[in-house]
Amino acid sequence: MSLEIYLDLLSQPCRSVYIFAKKNNIQFDHKKISLFEGYQYGEEFGKINVLRKAPAIKDGDFCLAESIAIMMYLAEKFHTPDYWYPADLQKRARVNEYLSWQHSSIRIYGSRILWFKLLIPKAMGVEVPKEKMDTAEENFDASLKLFEEKFLQDRPFIVGDQFSLADLVAVVEIMQPIGAGMDVFENRPKLKAWKDRVREEIGAELFDEAHQAILSLQEAVKTMDPKKMEPLKPKILKDLLS
């Protein structure tokens, strides 16, 4: 049975898994889903992932959720090159350190900026309080400073001279607010230089393909059907604005 991967490339974790699988020539059946339309709450997806989140994989009878767990599973199963998740104890610890930190920092604040600046006002027609937007931007900025000073420092990549899984996850997360028109790399030359190195390691064609949906989201929102997001609206507004 083929490996199935359920993805919505507007999601940062989905893009990380997609890039990882493609870059490593892992053959998979790409199940395209729409989180905005609530596919994750349907009966079919519930059989794959009871957590109701993407990405998710089905490898024969084995189902797995959570992007980091998925990429570690794929790395082990398909024996991907060591630089992704190094065998060296201290290098692997550096990768794990970033992967453990990112969930409650860059990822969450980048997502909030996208929702606050674009999706909630444009796709849902709800005004976001200025203090909410200001707080999200301040937290994202603080997270980027921590990323540069603590995780990147003066190294080419998070682990050192070697690109790793940590860099892939980081760059995908940092790109998210660009979907709302925010120039993340303005006045951040070190961050931009690192992003360019990561893009080169991944391959410009694959990097750009994976980010196409997020980079064109401002135009896509103009043609979105608000009715499709209506069932999710109460939960989204409660989670993000309450």
pTM of the model: 0.95
Q: DSSP letters of the chain?
A: --EEEEE-TTSHHHHHHHHHHHHTT---EEEE--TTTTGGGSHHHHHH-TT--S-EEEETTEEEESHHHHHHHHHHHTT--TTTS-SSHHHHHHHHHHHHHGGGTHHHHHHHHHIIIIIIIIIS--PPPHHHHHHHHHHHHHHHHHIIIIIITTSSSSSSSS--HHHHHHHHHHHGGGGGT--TTTT-HHHHHHHHHHHHHH-HHHHHHHHHHHHTHHHHHTT--HHHHGGGHHHHHHHHH-
Same domain, 66 and 165: no
Token pair 């499709």 in the structure block, residue: 228
- Region 204-224: what's the mean pLDDT? 94
| Tokens, residue 46 | 């519930």
pLDDT exceeds cutoff 70 at 242: yes
- Region 113-128: what's the mean pLDDT? 93
Identify the pLDDT of residue 83: 97
Same domain, 197 and 108: yes
Q: Give the residue from 77, 106, 134 where a domain finishes.
A: 77
Between 39-53, 75-89, 126-140, the lowest mean confidence (pLDDT) is in 39-53
pLDDT tens-digit series, residues 168-180: 999 999 999 999 9
CATH of the domain at 56: 3.40.30.10
> Strands of 62-65's sheet, edge to edge?
29-32, 3-7, 56-59, 62-65
Identify the pLDDT of residue 1: 55
pLDDT tens-digit series, residues 31-63: 999 888 888 888 888 888 888 899 999 999 999
Same domain, 141 and 229: yes
Identify the pLDDT of residue 223: 87
| pLDDT band with cut points at 50, 70 and 90 for residue 236 | confident
Peptide bond into 234 cis (omega under 30): no
Candidates 169, 235, 177; CA nearest to 198 is 169
Same domain, 130 and 48: no
Residue 83 inside a domain? The answer is: no
Count of structural domains within the chain:
2
Mean pLDDT score across all residues of the chain = 94
Residue 176 inside a domain? The answer is: yes
| pLDDT band with cut points at 50, 70 and 90 for residue 99 | very high
Identify the pLDDT of residue 39: 82
- Region 190-207: what's the mean pLDDT? 98
- Region 197-205: what's the mean pLDDT? 98
Identify the pLDDT of residue 233: 86
Contact (Cβ atoms closer than 8 angstroms) between residue 151 and residue 158:
yes
Identify the pLDDT of residue 239: 87
- Region 73-101: what's the mean pLDDT? 97
